Structures are given as C-alpha cells and as structure tokens.
Amino acid sequence: MLRAAVAAKTTLGIKAKEAMDKGELVSDNLVVGIIDEAMKKPSCQKGFILDGFPRTVTQAQKLDEMLAKQGANVDKVLNFAIDDAILEERITGRWIHPPSGRTYHTKFAPPKSPGVDDVTGEPLIQRRDDTAEVLKSRLEAFHKQTEPVIDYYSKKGLVVNLPAEKPPKEVTAEVLKALS
C-alpha cells in the first residue's frame, strides 16, 4: 500500500516519499493514513493483508483506532514462528536474479551453476540485507519491538501461530487453514 501510494503520487504518498528519500522512517500516522486511503479502493473491499505492519504496539493501537472509525477491525494475525538460527540459514543462502526476480537458495533450491541464473546465465546477486550481520540487527529490533505486537493481539485472541520452519507447501496449507 505504501509503495502504491508513492507510485500513484497521492498526497500521503508524496509525503511518504519525502521521508523515504531523506532516509527517514515513514511516520506511524502517515502509514495508517495510507492504509485508511487504500481501504476505500475496490481492491480492499473484501479485505486485505498487511505484511510488515504494524511493527510496534503503538502502530497496532493506531491501526485499531483507524479501523474502528470505519467499523472494521483486525480479525486475524498470522505469526510465522521460526527459530532465529533457521531463519539465518534461509536468509543468508538466498540469491536473486534481479531482472526476473527468480530466487535461488544455496541449500534448498540451488542454481544449476553456482552464482548463475538457470534461464539466462546472468549473474545472481545477494541482497545487501541478506547478511548475518544485518539479520542479527533486524532480529534484535523484531524481538524488542514486534514481539510485543504479537502479545498485544494474543490478548485479543487474534493470533494464529504458524510453524514457519516447515516446508513451504505445509506452511501455505497452514495459512489457508488459518484464513478459512
């Protein structure tokens, strides 16, 4: 929704882009406003999924307040629970072919030739944030800021814990079950 608002050059999207261009975080009120704006579009009339938001209890509270004003509410929170060590293995082994978006993994889905896209033969890259150091920092922030969001919504009976260490097909089945 944030990217769409920036691309569409909405009033809020322009403000968000200004913050992002300065290397600042987009304010909670601005993100909630963008979600509020997006909810009015036909694509959100039957519902929507937020990924990566809210990340703090304050954001969750602001989101809940905005939704309540529209007569809506968060009805489910999916917590993809996974051990940090497993997550590190998955993240640090990921390689991408930027032009196509194809992804590979050194252990789980390696390319036929290391470092080379199977289709084009072009080089693969590893994202700058797919390193152990960056992941450690992100996990520290997650445990400090976002785990309390899980507690916040757990108290409301909205959290479904999904064992994310399972194979993708099994996790997908768990997600579909949780959302049905």
pLDDT in tens, 101-133: 999 999 999 999 999 999 999 999 999 889 899
Residues 126-143, mean pLDDT to the nearest whole number: 89
What residue has token string 């990924």? 51
In whole angstroms, what is the distance from residue 100 CA to residue 118 CA?
Answer: 11
Sorted by where each begins, the domain ranges of the chain are 1-74, 75-179
* 25 pLDDT above the threshold of 80: no
CATH of 75-179, one of 3.40.50.11310, 3.30.160.40, 3.40.50.300, 3.90.1150.10: 3.40.50.300
pLDDT value of residue 32: 92
- Tokens standing for 110? 């390696």
Percentage with pLDDT > 70 across the chain: 100
Give the confidence band of 24 by pLDDT, cuts at 50, 70, 90.
confident
The amino acid sitting at 10 is T
Work out the number of other CB atoms within 10 angstroms of the CB of residue 68: 10
Q: What is the mean pLDDT of the chain?
A: 92
Select from 80, 88, 83 the least CA-distant residue to 136.
Answer: 88
pLDDT at 98 over 90: yes
d(CA 11, CA 60): 23
Residue 138 pLDDT grade (very low, low, confident, very high; cuts 50, 70, 90): confident
150-176 pLDDT, tens digit per residue, is: 999 999 999 999 999 998 899 999 999
Distance of CA 105 to the CA centre of its chain: 20
pTM of the model: 0.78
Report d(CA 144, CA 55) in Å as an integer.
10
Which residues, 6+ apart, have CB-to-CB distance to 24 below 8 Å?
none
- Mean pLDDT over 49-55 rounds to 91
